[in-house]
Amino acid sequence: MKSTQHPKIEFFEDNRDNHGDIIIILKSGWCFDKQGEHLGTYYDCDEAREAIRLVKPCTCPECLAKEETKMNNSELKKVKRINMVDSIKLDRTITCLEVGESWKNAHQMWIAHVDWMTSSQQDRLTAQLYAAAKLGEQKRVVINDRTFMLVNMPKVK
């Protein structure tokens, strides 16, 4: 199993010859079953492969901090040039990172998945995302283990 070159894998070790497990550590921004779970041990290749297939975006504090550092270096200058304008035209397209689906706006998402959150949670989600967008920040909001963010940020003028 050649997993060392997998884009989501940081570290791979096969210890089965020494009666051990296959050990996999994911790159920053990815996790296994639970948020923040970057390390997995497996009995065989099939089990490891299945776990890798189910890898999802990780938004644990550690991963977010790393992403912010990256953003500070490259994006921050651009973001700062976006003025705080109340009448800013927002593209309200929203996406859920875990399912990879997107909707025209948060309300459409809620209508499609009413079991994901309450109506007031949806209102709060909308408010948080739009307020951040007006400041040029592509905020991620986690509700019931699902991460939401706006797909497009306001253009720099």
CB of 1: closest distance to Zn ion in angstroms? 23
Q: Which of 9, 23, 51, 60 binds Zn ion (CB under 5 A)?
A: 60
* Tokens matching residue 91: 């593209």
Of 45-53, 57-65, 103-111, 148-156, which segment contacts Zn ion by CB under 5 A? Answer: 57-65
CB 133 within 8 A of CB 90: yes
Cα separation values, 15 from 5, 7, 18, 34, 55, Å: 18, 22, 5, 24, 22
Nearer to Zn ion, 24 or 63 (CB): 63
Q: Binders of Zn ion among 95-154, rule CB under 5 A?
A: none
CB of 90: closest distance to Zn ion in angstroms? 28
Closest to 151 (Cα-Cα) out of 83, 65, 85, 93: 93
Asked if 63 interacts with Zn ion (CB under 5 A), we say yes
Nearer to Zn ion, 57 or 154 (CB): 57
Site map for Zn ion, 32-51, x if CB under 5 A?
Answer: ----x---------------
Q: Alpha helix locations (H) across the chain?
A: 45-53, 61-74, 76-80, 106-112, 119-134
Closest to 101 (Cα-Cα) out of 142, 67, 151: 151
CB of 11: closest distance to Zn ion in angstroms? 14
Beta bridge partners of 26: 9
**Edge-to-edge strands of the sheet including 39-42?**
9-14, 22-26, 39-42
Asked if 26 interacts with Zn ion (CB under 5 A), we say no
- Total residues binding Zn ion (CB under 5 A): 4
Q: Which of 52, 55, 58, 82 binds Zn ion (CB under 5 A)?
A: 58
Task: Write out the residues near Zn ion by the rule CB under 5 A.
Answer: 36, 58, 60, 63
